[in-house]
Amino acid sequence: MKAGLLARLLPSLHHRILALVMVTVVLVTVALTALQLVTTQRALSRNLAEKQQLLAHHLADNLAVPLAERNYPRVVELIDSAVATGDLSSATVVDQRGRVVASSAPELTGRSFEEVSPPVSDLVTAPIAGQGLVGITSRAAASDALLGTILVGAVLASAVVILTLLPIVHRLSRGLTRPLDQAVHAARRMARGQFAVVELRSPIREIDALTTALSEAARQLGEGHGLLVQARDQLHTQVAFQQRLIDTIPVPVFHCDGAGLLQGCNDAFTRLVGGGAAAGRPVWEMLPAELWERFVAAHAAGGVFTCETGLPAGNGLQFAIFTAAPLPAGAGHIGVIFDITARKEAEEALARTRDEAIENSRLKSSFLATVSHEIRTPMNGIIGLSELLLESGVDAMQRECVEGVLTSGQELLRVINDLLDFSKMEAGRFRLDLTDIDLAQVVRDAMTVLSPAAKSKALPLRVVIDPELPRLLRADGGRIRQVLLNLVGNSLKFTDQGSVEVRVAAAAAGQGRVTVRCEVQDTGIGIAEADLGKLFRPFVQVDGSYSRRHGGTGMGLSIVKNLVELMGGAIGVVSTPGSGSTFWFELPLRRSEAATMLIAALREAAPRVNTAVDPTPTASALPLVLLAEDDLVNRTLAVARLVRLGLRASCAADGRQAVARFTDERPVLVLMDVHMPELDGIAAMREIRASLPAGAICPPIVALTANAMVGDHERFLQLGFDDYLAKPYTQVQFAKLVHKWVPESQPVAGG
């Protein structure tokens, strides 16, 4: 405010110099005047005091006689005369009693002197010859007049000095400020872009330095201005280029300030918002308002905001990915809108296709399960009855025929199993059944299965197991066995002379883990190098003649590869055509010795059902197994196998009968077909368990079913069955299962 007032009163340096000099003169004059006034006033005060004393005594002398004569009117007359001279402002006569007897102020008469006396500093008293005293106060008029004269003189002197100095200071100031004015004009020309160098000179060194520097600055600014103009033109070109570039971007791009007001955009954005993209228009009027709020909130948190959003219909876009990023230094936001309408439509179409595929797959799986069940059930009968027939004593011709039936049945079963496995893998539903296994035993079991085929071709089948191989491992023994059966089966299939050797060793071991490497080496026909790449592809056989000669679906190795990889391993082959092949696979397995030992210990300690007391029990003393099976052939086959295992069998044709017989007969094991009339196996199992009193031990109930689809095993265990055996099963599989739950049964041959 003060600065503003000063600027209005003294707008220029010239004025300020003038003002400064004049104010200085005035201040000096005022100071000198004040000094003179103080000095004079002190002198006057001294003189006045002396004069007052003189006047007081003189008046007292004059008053002595009238007072002595008690001539009070004369007293009044005298003091009035004294006051009338102009030297006194008051005079008061006081008698010896301290009473005012006369005064220049009559109203004081009769009052006490102490009561009416003025301040001591102003009062001068003089005694009146023992009759009282007279007190006077003086006028300061004379001294005031003198002081006033001095003051007026000082003011006049100041005026004279100012009037004398004014033109001189004015001239000097003009000389000082003229170069500055010229410099200002030069600076204004520069401000208008006129950088012509002007030589400004001043006799005053500092101003000369300033004007010289200004001239130099003008020169340099001129140069810099040229560069700036050039840079500006380039910038305009660049901005135009960038705008063109942005306009050519097919996706909408815009830029807004911190308040959301549009600052710029490209053509795509303008098209998007229907031509209403005027600068300064709020973006939330052009885009969904909640979008603006969300990305402002995201930017406040310091991040780039990206979201998928729907856009109002009518502008061609229905779905978009909106990405917005904050600009540096709070300059606002930049946003990009990607049109994903087509992609969204494609995704929706894809989702529909996927749903259809899933539905088709489900239908296919269901169909496969049905077909598998329907094929396995009769296949169980064919294989089982063929085995029984071979064991019942037949002549050579009959044996050859039965063995043909059996072989054909087994081959057909293998093909079906391959199909089912492949189906499971394709559907991604293949599950590993990890249990604690004795890998050496798994290998030997597989060799036992294949030894008849080796014998039939007079090929030595050797098994070499590394003694360092851990005895117990956590793995899916069934799948390892399947891999071995496939690889060794292939070697036997394609080897006519020489031998087949299986080597199992621990390739690497670590903390609780071991990598098991299995090699199957044969001296067969070998595989051409060119065919090695096609070896593990599905439905491919290296040579079509092989298929015709040796049979097979071409899915075996593909299934094997998938199984090994499913178990986290790798598989490969080294082959020399005409000399043989070595198939290998490696599996990373986990040791599980402690768990296996615990299970073994528990098994040893577990109470036995119908513990054998008599080593040669009678038929009624044999353990009773309840068999629930609606299919007569399979029921007959199972009964025959149970008898061969040294057990008694009680049969039920449906679930209802099974429940009734269980209640009556209390078997040690229940083999329960799942699909049965009246009451299915699952319901029958639940009724049996429900019929038992609380705390009673229920004998194991095992599901027998042709349901061999992915997950069936786990599903039946979850439903409450103790175990599961898929149809068709071999005698060995059946015997192992039964022996597992009824140890009193006869062990299976070779198992």
Partner 1 sequence: MSSPSPLLAAFLIPVWMLLYSPMLEAADEAPLHKVQIAIHAWEGYVEPYAPGFIAAMRERHHIEVELVRTSATGLDSFRSHLRDHSADLVSPANDLLRTLKDEGLIRPLETALVPNLAQVNPIILDNGYFRIDGHTWGAPFTYGPYALAYNRAKLAKPTSYEVLWDERWKGRVSVSNYDTANIYLVALALHIPASDLFRLSDAQLARIEVKLRELHAQVGHYWSDNLEPDSVKTIDVGTDWGIGVHLINSKGGDWAMTVPAEGATAWVDNWAISSAIDPAKLLLVHEFIDYQISARVEAEVARHTSYGPANIYATRFLTVAEKLDYHITDADYLGRLTIWQPLDAATLARYQAAWKRATR
Q: Which residues bind partner 1 (CB under 8 A)?
A: 65-66, 69-77, 80, 95, 101-102, 106-107, 109-111
Write down the least CB distance from residue 76 to partner 1, Å: 5
- How many CA atoms are closer than 13 Å to the CA of 474, on its beta-carbon side? 10
Of 548, 560, 489, 552, the closest CA to residue 522 belongs to 489
Cis omega (within 30 of 0) for bond into 607: no
For residues 581 and 599, what is the distance between their CA atoms, to the nearest angstrom?
Answer: 40
How many helices (H) does the chain have, and how many strands (E)? 21, 21
Write down the least CB distance from residue 110 to partner 1, Å: 3
Tokens coding 27 = 């201040």
Beta bridge partners of 194: none
For residues 700 and 304, what is the distance between their CA atoms, to the nearest angstrom?
Answer: 62
Write down the least CB distance from residue 107 to partner 1, Å: 7
Report whether 342 contacts 360 (CB < 8 A): no
| Residue 88 or 253 with smaller CB distance to partner 1 | 88
Report whether 88 contacts 68 (CB < 8 A): no
For residues 257 and 333, what is the distance between their CA atoms, to the nearest angstrom?
Answer: 6
| Residue 93 or 557 with smaller CB distance to partner 1 | 93
| Residue 110 or 224 with smaller CB distance to partner 1 | 110
Beta bridge partners of 703: 672, 724
| Residue 79 or 379 with smaller CB distance to partner 1 | 79
Strands (E) across 183-290 are located at 253-256, 262-265
Give the chain's end-to-end CA distance (angstroms, integer): 112
Write down the least CB distance from residue 52 to partner 1, Å: 23
| Residue 72 or 284 with smaller CB distance to partner 1 | 72
DSSP state of 87: S
| Residue 101 or 317 with smaller CB distance to partner 1 | 101
Write down the least CB distance from residue 92 to partner 1, Å: 13
Cis omega (within 30 of 0) for bond into 728: yes
Report whether 164 contacts 156 (CB < 8 A): no
Element of type H or E holding 507: strand 500-510
The amino acid at 134: V
Residues in the chain: 751
Tokens coding 302 = 């310091």
| Residue 80 or 308 with smaller CB distance to partner 1 | 80
List, in sequence order, the alpha helices (H) in 392-457.
Answer: 396-427, 439-456
Element of type H or E holding 541: none
| Residue 101 or 485 with smaller CB distance to partner 1 | 101
Q: Positive or negative, the Cα torsion across 80, 82, 85, 91?
A: negative
Of 678, 675, 737, 653, the closest CA to residue 702 belongs to 737
| Residue 105 or 601 with smaller CB distance to partner 1 | 105
| Residue 88 or 375 with smaller CB distance to partner 1 | 88
Report whether 59 contacts 71 (CB < 8 A): no
For residues 413 and 390, what is the distance between their CA atoms, to the nearest angstrom?
Answer: 19
Across the beta sheet with 133-138, the strand order is 100-103, 88-94, 133-138, 123-127
| Residue 95 or 593 with smaller CB distance to partner 1 | 95
Write down the least CB distance from residue 100 to partner 1, Å: 8
Write down the least CB distance from residue 114 to partner 1, Å: 16
Write down the least CB distance from residue 117 to partner 1, Å: 17
Tokens coding 420 = 């089912």
Write down the least CB distance from residue 121 to partner 1, Å: 27
Decide: helix, strand or coil at residue 489.
helix
Report whether 727 contacts 706 (CB < 8 A): yes
Write down the least CB distance from residue 130 to partner 1, Å: 17
Write down the least CB distance from residue 112 to partner 1, Å: 12
For residues 12 and 285, what is the distance between their CA atoms, to the nearest angstrom?
Answer: 53
| Residue 72 or 338 with smaller CB distance to partner 1 | 72
Tokens coding 89 = 């402002």
| Residue 66 or 384 with smaller CB distance to partner 1 | 66
Tokens coding 496 = 């006519």
> Residue 712: CB partners within 8 Å, gap ≥ 6?
705, 724, 726
Write down the least CB distance from residue 66 to partner 1, Å: 7
| Residue 116 or 672 with smaller CB distance to partner 1 | 116
Write down the least CB distance from residue 29 to partner 1, Å: 47
**How many CB atoms neighbour CB 601 within 10 A?**
10
* Paired sense of beta strands 624-628 and 580-591, if any: unpaired
| Residue 108 or 645 with smaller CB distance to partner 1 | 108
| Residue 11 or 106 with smaller CB distance to partner 1 | 106
Write down the least CB distance from residue 43 to partner 1, Å: 35
Write down the least CB distance from residue 25 to partner 1, Å: 52
Write down the least CB distance from residue 132 to partner 1, Å: 11
